[in-house]
Amino acid sequence: MEKHKIQYETIRFNLNGEDVERTVDVRASLTDLLRNDFRMTSVKKGCEVGECGACNVLIDGEAFNSCIYLAVWAQGKRVRTLEGLLGPNGELSDIQQAFVDEAAIQCGFCTPGFLLTAVEILESGKEYTDEELRKLLSGHLCRCTGYENILRAVKKTMYRRLGKV
């Protein structure tokens, strides 16, 4: 086999509100970096080809499938994972509680990804119709729940945050 030198780069970024620095193998995906270096195991490895949304994180406020994003690209970015949604003593955020209340979780594998897309939706401050919400949530596969409860959890939290309940 051809001898191959591993190429590293040092990057700085903000992870869930904290400035961090790491030297990373340029071949790593952001999923690899978050799981292996930071133990952010909410970031799931599902398909690893951008289809399922299990690895979804927020980068500068937008939802990205981290499995098709190079770790070195995180340089200078603000990255948020599910771990960053918890309160200081591990309290659940409103959207997480809504997923629990609506039974929007069964095995839980798709849940972190869905929650971060939900955060992007909620933080837009807009009110969406059911049809719009379905489209906004369509980048995630759930093999358990049938989606209706997930839709309901996001919708209820949206109305609550807009002061409409």
Partner 1 sequence: MYDMKALYQAKSVKDAVALRLAHPEAQIIAGGSDVLVQMREGKRAGAELISIQALDEIRGVSMEEDGTLRIGSLTSFSHITRDPLIQKYINVLGEAVDQVGGPQIRNIGTIGGNTCNGVTSADSASTLFAWDAVVELTGPEGVRRQPIQEFYIKAGKVDLREGEIQTAILIPKESYERCFGHYIKYAMRNAMDIATLGTSVNVRLSADKKTVERARVAFGVAGPVPLRAGTAEKAAAGQPLTMDLADRFAQAVKEDIHPRDSWRAAKDFRLHIAVESAKRAFIESVRLAGGAF
Ligand X SMILES: Cc1cc2nc3c(=O)[nH]c(=O)nc-3n(C[C@H](O)[C@H](O)[C@H](O)COP(=O)(O)OP(=O)(O)OC[C@H]3O[C@@H](n4cnc5c(N)ncnc54)[C@H](O)[C@@H]3O)c2cc1C
Is 129 buried (19+), middle (13-18) or exposed (0-12) by CB count in 10 A?
exposed
Report how far residue 40's alpha carbon sits from residue 3's, in angstroms, rounded to the nearest whole number: 32
37 sits near partner 1 (criterion: CB under 8 A): no
48 sits near partner 1 (criterion: CB under 8 A): yes
Assess contact for 16 and 81: CB atoms under 8 A: yes
Report how far residue 132's alpha carbon sits from residue 118's, in angstroms, rounded to the nearest whole number: 13
Residue 144: name its binding partner from partner 1, ligand FES, ligand X, none (Cβ under 5 to 8 Å by kind).
ligand FES
Residue 139: name its binding partner from partner 1, ligand FES, ligand X, none (Cβ under 5 to 8 Å by kind).
partner 1
Residue 37: name its binding partner from ligand FES, ligand X, partner 1, none (Cβ under 5 to 8 Å by kind).
none
Binding mask 85-104 for partner 1 (x = CB under 8 A): --------------------
Using the rule CB under 8 A, which residue among 97, 138, 143, 159 binds partner 1?
A: 138
Using the rule CB under 6 A, which residue among 25, 37, 48, 51 binds ligand X?
A: 51
Assess contact for 9 and 24: CB atoms under 8 A: yes
Interacting residue ranges for ligand X, rule: CB under 6 A: 50-51
